[in-house]
Structure 1
Amino acid sequence: MPEKTTAENIFGSIVETLAESGSKQKSVSFFGEEKSNPVASQFNRLFGRQKPVYNLLGGGKSADVLLWRNKKVSASFLTGATAIWVLFEWLEYHCLTLVFFALVLGMLAQFIWSNASGLFSSGRSQTKVPRLVLPEEIFVNIAITISAEVNRALSFLQDVASGGNIKQLLVVLASLWAAAVLGSWFSFLTVLYVGIVAAHTLPVFYERYEDQVDSFVYKVLQQIQDNYRKLDDGVLSKIPKGKLKGKKFE
């Protein structure tokens, strides 16, 4: 059928474009054989971006961690997230088990410390064992941050649902559907860990090779748009569309 042949040709063209663009960008990024045009890169920023990546991430300590300005903190955070993911996913530990084991070890350590200090003090007063007290501000700040982010997400979803922008609504619905599918494939902890790894790798990679990434993405989007026009002219425009006529009421 002509429609099937046209669709196959378009799909093959997309694959060839991705392969050619990927090979070109790879040679530019790692071997330095070509240089991107700095004038063109100023106008082809991804999604119309005008601010630096550091400012888009909010600046401050969070941006420093995500962009590896402080390598020790970034590496420690990523290592801790990896250790937690391995404990719960690979070794199949449970949260309550680890919490109670930690409490048992803490109580034993405090018991040994408080009694051993009296034995080795030679009649002097016992060494005061330090007390672990969590400040209330930590829990208050966590609750405020979580509630603010949840309310912002709910407000965004409600604005999209009632805004009348069909394109934006379809994009959000497709994103939520994709998130639901991913949630059925992986556990919440795995999805959260993948998000943490992506947050610690993609921004710093984009900041280093932003000209090449922007150029590659725009070439792909342009090719997809051209192929969609061909598909529309060759297939979609030939599909008969029914006409709805309203009834007249006297």
Structure 2
Amino acid sequence: MLTLTGAMPEGITPENLMNNIMDTFSDKIHKQNSGSFSVEEKSVGAQFNKLFGRQKPIHNILGGGKSADVLLWRNKKISASVLGAATAVWVLFEWLDYNFLPLVCFGLTICIIGQFIWAHLLGGSPPRLVLSDELLERIATTVGGEVNRALGFLQSVGSRGDIKQLAIVCGSLITAAIIGTWCNFWTVIYIGFVAAHILPVVYEKYDDQIDNAVYNVLGKLQNNYSKLDASVLSRIPKATGKKYA
């Protein structure tokens, strides 16, 4: 089952995911063309009509924890506060032309002065802000694992000789590069953050309509790809390794 916690489960590759989507859609079209459904076939078809074969609620797919509650607006005050904070940061960097390093330095300066006033002028004991070693190790392990998984996938794409997968990955990277020329890094991050707070809750509310629309689009893409494969891609020989004595 596909999760949206930042990484794909072990054993699932983007190629397998795309093949599962196409296979599911092909089975659905084949059953529709057959003209009749049994009661069991209808129940099974209803399960697999969900996007990516989804059978669990979207809340469980997002992890089922506090992060899922925030993304799905279970607590509107917290979700609005998080989105508002992200918007404030984006406004500081984009509209007010603040730079990251001066902003961090000014923030640290204010914190140090506040600590000094609290300790020496007010005679209190200022709070100690420390990140635990366990938290830092967890962050490093998670980030390092995701980077290694991405590098391994890219290496696999370049060495397997699969023209279809190579075209999909290169097209995705070129699309991302084009989007990057329209706006800078912070804007791209902010757009992704806003999308993460809008798309899941919209999909949870209108999942049936969105699933049907996506399958209709995939059907058209499948037909176009079949024509392209029959006329062009099927004639391209796949790369094979040379054998040496």
Shorter-chain TM-score range: 0.5 to 0.7
- Choose which of 173, 176, 182 in structure 2 pairs with 1:176: 173
Structure 1 contact 65–74 (Cα < 8 Å) conserved: yes
Task: Deviation per CA, 1:212-231: give whole Å up to 9, x if none.
Answer: 01111222333455567789
Task: Deviation per CA, 1:84-105: give whole Å up to 9, x if none.
Answer: 1111111110111111211222
CA distance in 1, matches of 2:227, 2:112: 71
Instruction: Tell me which residue corresponds to 1:48.
Output: 53
Alpha-carbon shift at residue 142 of structure 1 (Å)? 1.9
Gaps of 5+ in 1: 1-36, 118-125, 238-250
Task: Deviation per CA, 1:29-74: give whole Å up to 9, x if none.
Answer: xxxxxxxx99864342223334432333233233222222333332
Alpha-carbon shift at residue 194 of structure 1 (Å)? 0.7
Structure 1 contact 41–211 (Cα < 8 Å) conserved: no
Structure 1 contact 41–214 (Cα < 8 Å) conserved: no
Structure 1 contact 110–129 (Cα < 8 Å) conserved: yes
CA distance in 2, matches of 1:227, 1:111: 68
CA distance in 2, matches of 1:205, 1:82: 20
Instruction: Tell me which residue corresponds to 2:79.
Output: 74
Gaps of 5+ in 2: 1-41, 233-245
2:150 maps to 1:153: yes
CA distance in 2, matches of 1:95, 1:223: 45
- Choose which of 65, 70, 84 in structure 1 pairs with 2:89: 84
Structure 2 contact 118–125 (Cα < 8 Å) conserved: no
2:112 maps to 1:110: no
Q: Which amino acid aligns with 2:181?
A: S
- Structure 1 vs Structure 2: percent identity of aligned residues? 59
Would the alpha carbon gap of residues 127 and 66 (structure 1) be closer, same or farther in structure 2, given more than 3 Å must change? closer
- Give matches, 1:1-250, under 5 Å: 41-117=46-122, 126-226=123-223
Q: Which has the larger radius of gyration?
A: 1
TM-score (norm 1): 0.65
Q: Which amino acid aligns with 2:93?
A: F
CA distance in 2, matches of 1:108, 1:44: 59
Would the alpha carbon gap of residues 131 and 215 (structure 1) be closer, same or farther in structure 2, given more than 3 Å must change? closer
TM-score (norm 2): 0.66
Would the alpha carbon gap of residues 166 and 52 (structure 1) be closer, same or farther in structure 2, given more than 3 Å must change? farther
Q: CA RMSD in A?
A: 3.0
CA distance in 1, matches of 2:44, 2:145: 40
Which protein has greater RCO, CA pairs closer than 8 Å, 6+ apart?
1
